[in-house]
Amino acid sequence: MNKPTSFGIWANTDKPSFWKVLPDIVSWAKNKSIDLFITTRIESQLKDHDFDYQLIESADDFVKLDFILTLGGDGTILSLARAVNDRGTPILGIHLGKLGFLAEVVVEDMFTRLDEVVAGNFTIQKRMVIKCVVNNGSEPQTFHALNDIVVDRGKSHRLLNCDLLANHNFVAKYNADGLIIATPTGSTAYSLASGGPIVMPTFGSIVVTPICPHTLTLRPIVFPDDQVLEISFPDEEGDDMALAIDGQVNEYLKSSAEVLVQKASFDINMVNFTDSNYFNTLRTKLGWGVRGVN
Residues designated catalytic: 74
Q: Which of 83, 81, 37 is nearest to 60 (CA)?
A: 83
Terminal-to-terminal C-alpha distance of the chain:
49
Bridge partners (DSSP) listed for residue 7:
36, 67
Backbone φ/ψ region at 198: left (φ over 0), alpha (ψ -120 to 50), beta: beta
Q: Is there a contact between 42 and 11 (Cβ–Cβ < 8 Å)?
A: yes
User: What is the Cα 91 distance to its own chain's centre?
Assistant: 11
Please enumerate in sequence order all residues whose Cβ is within 8 A of that of 287, keeping only pairs 6 or more positions apart, or say none: none
Sheet with strand 241-245: strands edge to edge: 221-224, 205-211, 178-182, 148-152, 241-245, 249-253
Q: CB count, 10 Å around CB of 16? A: 9
